[in-house]
Structure 1
Amino acid sequence: MALKRMSKEDMPLSFGAFNPVGHIVIGFDEPAEAEQAVQSLLDAGFDPEDIVRYSAEEGASEMERRLASASGAAEFGTEVRLMRRYKQLADEGCCWLVVFAPEPAQARRVAEIAREAGACIAERYGRLVIEDLI
């Protein structure tokens, strides 16, 4: 099954929990860091459609909404734990990028760019595992 890019209007879910397989969720303390990462991603050949941006307010609101609708079955995985962490960071002012990077080489490049831009968290969502990149 081919993976597709997420958008704000079409967020990938599993049992109601945020689960963007093939994407990397990156958090930044400062919007300027996120913008630096966006420019570096574009320079590295990623398409604008590969990058979904969330302000701290958008991220907090979205995670709050998703946490309220996640099923009890979602509690067994790491998705809900990460959603709580994302909500906490967003409440503290963290902004977010969600980058479509389904191939290992793409994921390595995204992780490198995230580190260089000063990301505070980066999680790669695979089919079975969520990998901490930072």
Structure 2
Amino acid sequence: MDKQSPPTSFGVFKPVGHVLIQFANLRDLEGAAEAIERLGVPLADIVMYTPRQMIEQIDKEMAAASGFAAIGQEINLSKAHRAAAEMGRHWLLVAAPGQEQAQQIADTAHAWRAERGQYYGRFIIEELIEHPDDLPQVAESPDRGLDSQSPSGTEEERMVRHETAHARR
């Protein structure tokens, strides 16, 4: 995978057959990358994105996105990724030839405090890292706004859900 020409669908980032993993800091990202490499994933199949790189990529794609990109959840995810990048988040993009490998990669990254892990299939993008206060995954559309599970523009809603869940215990 080449950051200079990332895979897209209708002009928006869609790396089919890859897991996109989000981290709060570079230290955890680097630890996860090493652990994923120990799983047997070639270093050439692991790409790191800094917050600045993600913002630049998303801005470029949004300017060129086709109207058809609004059909799936890619636009919302890109907006959520951009909001997270503005908060300083980092990413690993890892090739995963199948669901089983994708889950193994996400589980390994989660042990390194990964916040999100999304597997890009041909027709669906699946969240692989679950949190106790997550909402069920639903079909996305641009009308629904940013992805509700992301630490992004809907962080306040997530905090309210988290506090409510803890208050019930």
- Where on the TM-score scale, by shorter chain, does this alignment land: which range? over 0.9
Whether the aligned pair in 1 keeps the contact of 2:19 and 2:95 (CA below 8 Å) is yes
Q: How does 1:9-20 map to 2 (within 5 A)?
A: 9-20=4-15
Check conservation: 1:67, 1:84, Cα contact below 8 A: no
Shift of residue 10, structure 1, vs aligned partner: 2.8
Preserved CA contact (<8 Å) 2:36 2:109: no
Does residue 101 (structure 1) correspond to residue 96 (structure 2)? The answer is yes
**Of 46, 50, 66, the match for 2:61:** 66
How many residues are paired up? 129
Partner of 1:26: 21
Q: Going by fraction, where is strand more abundant, 1 or 2? A: 1
Identity rate, percent: 36
Q: Flag the structure with larger Rg.
A: 2
Flag structure 1 segments of 5+ consecutive residues without an equivalent. 1-5
How far 1:105 moved relative to its partner? Answer: 2.2
Indicate the residue corresponding to 1:91 in structure 2: 86
Equivalent residue of 1:65, what SS? helix
Displacement after TM superposition at 1:9 (Å): 2.4
Q: Which gives a bigger RCO, structure 1 or 2 (Cα 8 Å, sep 6+)?
A: 1
Structure 2: gaps of 5 or more residues: 130-169
Please give the root-mean-square deviation of Cα atoms over the aligned residues, in Å: 0.9
Report deviation, 1:7.
Answer: 1.6
- After TM superposition, the runs of 4+ consecutive aligned structure 1 residues lying more than 4 A away are none
Q: Deviations over 1:4-53 (max 9, x none)?
A: xx221231111101110000111100000100100101111110011011
